[in-house]
Amino acid sequence: MEVAPERIDRWVAGFGERHDGVVSREVDGRVASVAGGDGASAVFEWFPYEPLGVVLVRRGGYAVALAHAGALTLHKVGTRHVQSRTAAGGWSQQRFARRRDNQADALVEAVAGHALRVLLGGDESPRTGARGIPAGLVVGGDRTLAAAVLAESSLRAVAGLPRRELWDIGDPRRAVLDDCLRRGRAVRITLTDTP
């Protein structure tokens, strides 16, 4: 399950009420795990990076954003056509494949340009720890396209950032972007009930 970081204390208190008290273990001031008196336990996976960058790309759509404390500060959402596969054979199939590849390349180039502007303020080589540069990334959509975007030389400053991957998303629109930001910031909790 995924819980907003602001709600963790309340979630732990509720866990204690449901499971005969709670013993928690903290690491670096964050709850790492809790155990209930009845044998139930929960392990927490935090993604504590601020500001947070978001790069979502699928054939036909993209979203790039920078967020502080869960609020979007700058974002770009758009569409771009990439033809789907065709059942045609022979020369037609090859022609459509070339067209599809060219459209995908243009999509990657466009998204990388937006990411450079939104995430790095247009600076390909920002100084380490510069204000407004993401400390972590939420990446989602199509794995191949997302990898191609982040492999662009203009984005080398964000290539090695910690990532939270969300591949199970729909076409990147504003509502999907908002949901991915929420999920990207969330604390993932693995709950093991009583035996």
> How does pLDDT run across 130-180, given as a tens digit for each residue?
777 899 999 999 999 999 999 999 999 898 899 999 999 988 999 999 999
Specify the pLDDT at position 29. 80
Euclidean distance between CA atoms 98 and 150, whole angstroms: 22
C-alpha distances out from residue 177 to 52, 147, 188, Å: 13, 18, 18
Its pTM stands at: 0.82
- What digits encode the pLDDT tens for the residues 74-99? 999 988 655 555 555 555 666 666 66
Average pLDDT taken over every residue of the chain: 86
Percent of the chain at pLDDT exceeding 70: 85
Domains of the chain, with CATH numbers?
2-46 (no CATH), 52-185 (3.30.420.60)
Specify the pLDDT at position 24. 83
